[in-house]
Copies of this chain bind each other. A is one copy, B any other.
Amino acid sequence: MKLMTIGHLARRAEVGIETVRFYERQGLLELPARKDSGYRQYDESVVARLRFIKRAKELGFSLKEIKELLALRVDPSTTCAEVRSRAKAKIADVEEKIQALQRIKNALVQLTAVCRGRGPTSECPILDALDQESEP
């Protein structure tokens, strides 16, 4: 198992070194192994973890929520039923976001279709389009 330094990890995951240490303090990354010198040592899997954190952030999840997503697992203090019920709640959450985005996307599509260069449009076309979305 090849290990890497914090600098390599940060470059591979496209985040800053300080961000890695920040996430460690926030409990989003486990405490890594250390060399005798005190240098942190990371394995491959942490790259995926960091990329996940990055993507989830862009999707509007807070670090606290991301931590919860990463913690969805069975362990001595968490039963399978608990994990399942938490995961189901997250799924509902994610589905809501998908639907909201879908509505925004449809509104944008409609906006490009309606726009035909015949002069100024309404105050705020995207809201008009969303309106029609909800009451077709």
Taking Cβ atoms with an 8 Å cutoff, the residues of A that contact B are 45, 48-49, 52, 55-61, 69-70, 72-76, 79-81, 83-84, 87-88, 90-91, 94-95, 97-98, 100-102, 104-105, 108-109, 111-112, 115-127, 130-131
Min CB distance A103 to B, Å, is: 9
Given A94-B104, A109-B91, A117-B79, decide whether A125 and B55 contact each other with a Cβ distance below 8 A. no
Tell me whether A72 and B105 are in contact (CB under 8 A): no
Tell me whether A121 and B73 are in contact (CB under 8 A): yes
Min CB distance A9 to B, Å, is: 15
Copy number in this complex?
2
Min CB distance A88 to B, Å, is: 6
Tell me whether A98 and B101 are in contact (CB under 8 A): yes
Closest to A118 in B: B80
Min CB distance A96 to B, Å, is: 9
Given A52-B127, A97-B101, decide whether A115 and B69 contact each other with a Cβ distance below 8 A. no
Tell me whether A131 and B98 are in contact (CB under 8 A): no
Tell me whether B108 and A87 are in contact (CB under 8 A): yes
Q: How far, in whole Å, are A31 and B80 apart by their CA atoms in the complex? A: 53
Q: How far, in whole Å, are A20 and B111 apart by their CA atoms in the complex? A: 26
